């Protein structure tokens, strides 16, 4: 191409002399740019869309299960965690910690449908004491997010201790992938729950019609996006796979107030029993088995525990566990 | 008027317009959970005489905003149509649109005189309808129309745009750090948790955009022609105390082209007073300080206050008032109201689910002004505008769409923001006992009933403390299948079961009325 020709073309461009061929070229170029930009950006910057899950930290604990009983829930938490070996075993300095309480329902703490805010606040405080870089608190709620976060008192209590409390975004997810065949394959799970250093699961112990009781494993449903109702079909198997995927480092079951009927949303004060206990364990299945026993239910009544026993996931035999009981 | 130089009043007017437009948007924007806005969310509606008086007449009752409305009418008697020029959000939007067109189109005086009449017809028809017990003020009222546009189209679009921009920046460009934190903070404060969306808002947008665009070509065309609120204020401002005087006029005619309502047709004192919106353009355009607004003697009749020049009297365009021909035309055009009365013979049951605290259907339709407050405030987005599902008279009334949301058990916001009481203000205890309908299980679709698979999502979500969904347990090949059964005594029809049911395309549990 001659220099003069190029100059002429440039001249045409600036003088707005558009040829038909030039117009078509610009159109096609624009279209190609439009199509490729999204793909390009995603390739260049975006994070991976699928994940094979977390791996929990290898931690030796002093006991398998610690139960603290006392009037003050926060003191229970502190005593139980100290007894199991201290929060430093689970949270290293500079860690990003995810605390996943149950904030599912637009209910007050007295109605016992959500985790006690004092328990959550105590754990946040402990995590920061272990020099965590950042503590994230979130849940995908069943009722409206704003109402749940406020009524449960968790947002306020955790923010006071410096935690980041936010509404989870259903688009910031990874697709779960498993090394074995799983009904949860491809399920969208919150990225923040997977990409963290420490995952602390703080469920509340309460009644549930389908699952018998909701405890640690059922609480993990709160990090699943998508049509969560479908998890209820073949619930046991899906919860076991989900627990394997998230692999929580620490499970702190809040049994301060326990909803014994009309769960999981409750609403009647008469349905709430004050047990004033906090159960801490590094093994999610074992913690659930212990709580089921605490409520006088056999693990075979609970679909996820039944399935875990069948698949050999985790420990379901409570007789082999070392249990420490503390009075605070 | 001497506190501020009169030829600078136009600046004050512009500030006032922008202020009230922003205030209007702020009030509507803050009409959301937890309703902590310092201004009550229905303030602009209860101070609108067209809405309040016509609804009151149609319903034969006194509405809460009556005192404010009487104050507005009193001030209109003193100042004239100050609302139209200084406050009206639709007027401000139209002025902004005509600001971008420097080449103003002036209509012929004959055309102007004709089109001005139309708004009195619009007001007349709504008034006759109100006397007959039908409230159609919602269709043409400028405040309500703007509110509908802002609440149901503008704010959702703006939040959606912001939300998607952040989503793009975070997910596709990879700003997971500070940008994401800002987004999360915004979400729990300004931006709101969800980008809400409302169906069937196309007509609302077209209406609003049409009016604002018309002002681009002919300034304030809607105000001159159709606005019934302007007509109402115009009827009073005909006799208002503040009048325009042009002493020592040099007949340059600048005010005639400057006037956005084209109410000045000859140089000098003469103008159509009921058209003047006190925009102060004529004072600003006047080459000397000839044009002034002064108060007339309140004890002398306004029509004869210029006895030296009777032909130039203030109401020169329409000295006779309503002619016989116009009156007959008005009566004939009111016949189309029969369309609104027609469906009432079908009984008083709504063909859609109404929000909690709704009055009986006939009263509800007459009382509802379609301001969109209940739809804007609902935290779950369940309240949606109806098109023709509720009949011709039910256009844009609120209906519940349980596929989109559900009625939050501990929430009474929609009743709190309703300006006319079409949705009752109820204490929480009463609202929790007010049924919207009753749920029924579609046994042919429900997973436990039709396929023997455990599901029970509906029972889990049921907010009634004693659970309005009970369980029927059967043994299917060694597996206990729990099947949901609705307790009709306890069910309040909140629709959360329908909303959360995982069965598609139509849900396996539905609320029916």
Cβ of B171 within 8 Å of Cβ of A150? The answer is: no
Instruction: pLDDT band for A49, please (50, 70, 90 cuts).
Output: confident
Length of chain B as a residue count = 513
DSSP β-ladder status, B479-486 and B469-476: antiparallel
Q: What is the pLDDT of residue B384?
A: 95
Q: Which residues contact A17 (CB under 8 A, 6 or more apart)?
A: A11
Q: How does pLDDT run across A50-90, given as a tens digit for each residue?
A: 889 898 888 889 999 999 999 999 999 999 999 999 999 99
Please, which residues 28-47 of chain B have a Cβ atom closer than 8 Å to chain A?
33-34
- Quote the longest CA-to-CA distance of chain A: 93
Distance CA B395, CA B390 (A): 7
CB contact under 8 A, A210 and B411: no
Question: Chain A: nearest CA to B447, how far in angstroms?
Answer: 9
Between the alpha carbon of residue B84 and those of residues A129, B49, B233, the distances in Å are 62, 13, 9
Each residue's pLDDT tens digit, B182-227? 999 888 877 777 788 998 889 899 999 999 999 999 999 999 999 9
For A263, name the nearest residue in chain B, comparing CA atoms only.
B460
Q: Residues A75, A214: one domain?
A: yes
CB contact under 8 A, A265 and B33: no
Residues A29 and A54 reside in one and the same domain: no
Whether residue A252 lies inside any domain: the answer is yes
- pTM value? 0.88
Angle at A277 between CA A274 and CA A281, to 5 degrees: 145
At how many degrees (to 10) do helices B89-99 and B9-29 cross?
120
Tokens 């409520």, located at residue: A295
Give residue for tokens 């080449």: B103
Do A256 and A293 lie in one domain? The reply is yes
Contact B281, B335 (CB under 8 A): no
For residue B347, what pLDDT is reported? Answer: 60
DSSP-derived 3-state class of residue B394 = helix
If asked whether residues A158 and A26 sit together in one domain, one would say no
Q: Give domain status of residue A12, yes or no.
A: no
Rounded Cα distance, A128 and A236, in Å: 34
Alpha-carbon distance A24 to A32, whole Å? 12
Query: Based on the structure, what is the number of domains in chain A?
Result: 2
Whole-angstrom distance, CA of residue A102 vs CA of residue A120: 10
H or E element at residue A81: helix A73-84
pLDDT band, very low/low/confident/very high, at A166 (cuts 50, 70, 90): very high
pLDDT digits (tens, 9 = 90+) for A168-203: 988 899 999 999 999 999 999 999 999 999 999 999
Q: Kindly list the residues from chain A whose CB atom is less than 8 angstroms away from the CB atom of residue B461.
A: 142, 265
Q: Which of A47, A64, A86 is the last residue of a domain?
A: A47
On whether residue A10 sits in a domain, the answer given is: no
The bridge status of strand A250-259 relative to strand A198-202 is parallel
Two tokens, residue A134: 């950042």
Q: Would the CA dihedral through B233, B234, B235, B240 be positive or negative?
A: positive
Q: What is the mean pLDDT of chain A?
A: 91
Last residue of a domain, one of A9, A27, A47: A47
Tell me if A244 is assigned to some domain. Answer: yes
The structure tokens listed for A239 are 């919860």
Look up residue B69 and give its two tokens: 């409305």
Q: How far apart are CA A90 and CA A109, in angstroms?
A: 27
The reported pLDDT for the residue numbered B361 is 87
CA angle B77, B146, B264 (to 5 degrees): 45
pLDDT at A231: 92
* A292/A305 same-domain check: yes
Q: Is A86 left (phi over 0), alpha (psi -120 to 50) or beta?
A: left
CB of B465 within 8 Å of any CB in chain A? yes
B490 reaches A (C-beta below 8 A): no
In a domain, A87, yes or no: yes
pLDDT of residue B295: 86
Percentage above 70 pLDDT, chain A: 98
A29 and A97 part of one domain: no
When pLDDT is averaged across residues A202-221 and rounded to a whole number, the result is 93
CATH code assigned at A111: 3.40.50.11440
Q: Find tokens 């203000």 and name the residue.
A: B425
Residues of A in contact with B459 (CB under 8 A): 209-210
DSSP states of A120-177: HHHHHHHHHHTT-SEEEE----SS-HHHHHHHTSHHHHHHHTT-EE-PPPTTSEEEE-
Distance of CA B401 to the CA centre of its chain: 21
Q: Can you give the pLDDT at residue B312?
A: 41
Tokens for A169? 């975004």
**Are both A25 and A94 inside the same structural domain?**
no
Contacts with A, B 147-206, CB within 8 Å: 167, 170-174, 176, 181, 184-185, 187-188, 193
pLDDT tens figures, A141-159: 999 999 999 999 999 999 9
Q: Does B482 touch chain A (CB under 8 A)?
A: yes
* One domain for residues A38 and A110: no
Q: What is the 3-state secondary structure (H, E, C) of B233-282?
A: HHHHHCCCCEEEEECCCCCCCHHHHHCCCCCCCCCCCCCCHHHCCCCCHH
- pLDDT at res. B303: 52
Of B248, B254, B289, B300, nearest in space to B269 by CA: B248
Distant-in-sequence, close-in-space partners of A162: CB < 8 Å, separation ≥ 6? A124, A128, A135
Query: Is A145 in the same domain as A293?
Result: yes
Identify the sign of the CA torsion B499, B504, B508, B512.
Answer: positive
Which chain B residues are closer than 8 Å to A232 by Cβ? 454-457, 460, 502
Q: What is the distance in angstroms between the CA of the first residue and the CA of the last residue of chain B?
A: 60
Which positions of chain B have pLDDT values less than 70?
1-4, 6-7, 300-321, 338-348
Report pLDDT for B307.
41
Give B184→chain A minimum CA distance, Å. 6
Indicate whether A209 belongs to any domain: yes
Segment among A97-101, A235-239, B8-12, B66-70 with least mean pLDDT: B8-12
Q: Are residues A284 and A139 in the same domain?
A: yes
Do A183 and A42 share a structural domain?
no
Q: Is A71 exposed, middle or buried (0-12, 13-18, 19+ CB in 10 A)?
A: exposed
Indicate whether A11 belongs to any domain: no
Nearest C-alpha of chain B: how many angstroms from A250? Answer: 26
Tell me, rounded to whole angstroms, the distance of Cα A261 from its chain centroid. 25
pLDDT number for residue B341: 62
**Considering CB atoms only, which of B170, B171, B184 is closest to A166?**
B184
Domain annotation covers residue A9: no
State residue B310's pLDDT score: 40
User: Could you list the residue range(s) of the whole structural domain that residue A22 is in?
Assistant: 18-47
What region, left, alpha or beta, does residue A262 occupy, with left being phi > 0 and alpha being psi -120 to 50 degrees?
left
Within this chain, do residues A69 and A189 fall inside the same structural domain, yes or no? yes
Residue A105 CA, chain-centre distance (Å), reads 16
Sign of torsion, CA B74 B77 B78 B84? positive
- pLDDT value, residue A133: 95
End-to-end CA distance of chain A: 88
């Amino acid at each position: 191409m001659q220099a003069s020709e190029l100059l002429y073309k440039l001249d045409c461009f600036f003088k707005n002399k558009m040829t038909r061929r030039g117009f078509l070229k610009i159109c096609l170029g624009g279209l190609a740019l439009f199509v490729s930009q999204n793909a390009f950006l995603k390739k260049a910057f975006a994070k991976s869309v699928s994940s094979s899950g977390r791996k929990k930290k290898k931690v030796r604990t002093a006991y398998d299960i610690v139960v603290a009983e006392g009037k003050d829930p926060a003191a229970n938490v502190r005593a139980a965690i100290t007894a199991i070996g201290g929060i430093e075993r689970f949270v290293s300095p500079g860690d990003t910690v995810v605390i996943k309480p149950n904030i599912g329902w637009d209910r007050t703490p007295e109605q016992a449908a959500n985790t006690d805010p004092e328990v959550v606040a105590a754990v946040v405080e402990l995590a920061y004491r272990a020099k965590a870089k950042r503590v994230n608190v979130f849940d995908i709620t069943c009722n409206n997010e704003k109402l749940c976060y406020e009524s449960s008192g968790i947002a306020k209590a955790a923010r006071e201790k410096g935690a980041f409390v936010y509404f989870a975004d259903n688009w910031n997810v990874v697709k779960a992938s498993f090394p074995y065949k799983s009904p949860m394959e491809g399920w969208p799970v919150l990225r923040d729950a997977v990409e963290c250093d420490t995952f602390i699961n703080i469920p509340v112990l309460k009644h549930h019609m389908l699952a018998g009781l909701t405890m640690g494993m059922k609480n993990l449903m709160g990090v699943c996006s998508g049509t969560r109702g479908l998890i209820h079909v073949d619930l046991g198997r899906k919860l076991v796979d989900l627990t394997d995927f998230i692999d929580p480092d620490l499970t702190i079951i809040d049994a301060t107030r326990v909803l014994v009927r009309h769960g999981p949303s409750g609403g009647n004060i008469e349905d709430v029993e004050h047990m004033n206990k906090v159960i801490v364990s590094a093994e999610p299945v074992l913690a659930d088995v212990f709580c089921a026993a605490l409520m006088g239910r056999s693990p075979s009544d609970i679909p996820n525990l039944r399935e875990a026993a069948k698949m050999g996931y985790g420990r379901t035999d409570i007789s082999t566990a070392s249990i420490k009981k503390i009075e605070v | 008027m001497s506190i501020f130089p009169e030829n600078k009043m136009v600046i004050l007017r512009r500030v006032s317009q922008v202020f009230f437009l922003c205030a209007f948007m702020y009030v509507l924007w803050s009409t959301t959970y937890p309703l902590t806005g310092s201004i009550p969310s229905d303030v602009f509606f209860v101070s609108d005489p067209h809405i309040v008086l016509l609804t009151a007449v149609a319903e034969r009752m006194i509405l809460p905003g009556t005192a404010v409305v009487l104050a507005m009418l009193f001030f209109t008697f003193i100042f004239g149509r100050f609302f139209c020029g200084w406050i009206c959000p639709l007027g401000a939007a139209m002025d902004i649109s005509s600001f971008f067109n420097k080449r103003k189109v002036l209509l012929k005086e004959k055309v102007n005189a004709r089109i001005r009449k139309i708004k009195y017809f619009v007001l007349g028809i709504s008034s006759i309808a109100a006397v007959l017990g039908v409230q159609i003020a919602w269709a043409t009222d400028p405040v309500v129309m703007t509110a509908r546009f802002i609440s149901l189209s503008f704010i959702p679009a703006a939040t959606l745009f912001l939300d998607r921009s952040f989503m793009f920046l975070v997910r596709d460009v990879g700003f997971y750090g500070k940008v994401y934190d800002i987004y999360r903070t915004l979400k729990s404060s300004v931006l709101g948790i969800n980008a809400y969306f409302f169906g069937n808002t196309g007509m609302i947008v077209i209406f609003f955009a049409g009016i604002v665009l018309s002002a681009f070509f002919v300034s304030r065309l809607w105000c001159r022609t159709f606005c019934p609120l302007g007509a109402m204020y115009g009827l009073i401002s005909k006799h208002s105390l503040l009048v325009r005087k042009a002493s020592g006029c040099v007949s340059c005619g600048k005010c005639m082209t400057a006037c956005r309502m084209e109410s000045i047709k000859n140089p000098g004192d003469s103008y159509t007073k009921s058209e003047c919106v006190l925009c102060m353009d004529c004072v600003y355009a006047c080459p000397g300080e000839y044009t002034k607004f002064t108060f007339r003697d309140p004890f002398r009749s306004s029509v004869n206050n210029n006895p030296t020049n009777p032909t130039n009297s203030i109401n020169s365009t329409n000295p006779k008032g309503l002619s016989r021909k116009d009156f007959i035309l008005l009566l004939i055009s009111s016949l189309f109201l029969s369309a609104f009365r027609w469906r009432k013979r079908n009984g008083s049951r709504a063909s859609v689910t109404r929000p909690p605290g709704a009055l009986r259907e006939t009263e509800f339709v007459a009382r509802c002004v379609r301001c969109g407050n209940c739809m804007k405030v609902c935290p779950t987005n369940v309240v949606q505008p109806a098109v023709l599902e509720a009949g011709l008279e039910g256009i844009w009334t609120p209906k519940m769409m349980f596929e989109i949301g559900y009625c939050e058990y501990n929430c009474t916001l929609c009743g709190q923001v309703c300006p006319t009481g079409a949705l009752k203000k109820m204490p929480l205890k009463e609202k929790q006992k007010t049924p919207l309908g009753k749920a029924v299980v579609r046994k042919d679709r429900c997973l436990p009933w039709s396929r023997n698979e455990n599901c029970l999502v509906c029972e889990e979500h049921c907010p009634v403390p004693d659970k309005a969904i009970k369980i029927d347990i059967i043994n299917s090949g060694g597996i206990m299948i729990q099947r949901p059964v609705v307790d009709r005594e306890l069910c309040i029809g909140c629709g959360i079961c329908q909303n959360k049911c995982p069965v598609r395309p139509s849900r396996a549990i539905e609320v029916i009325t």
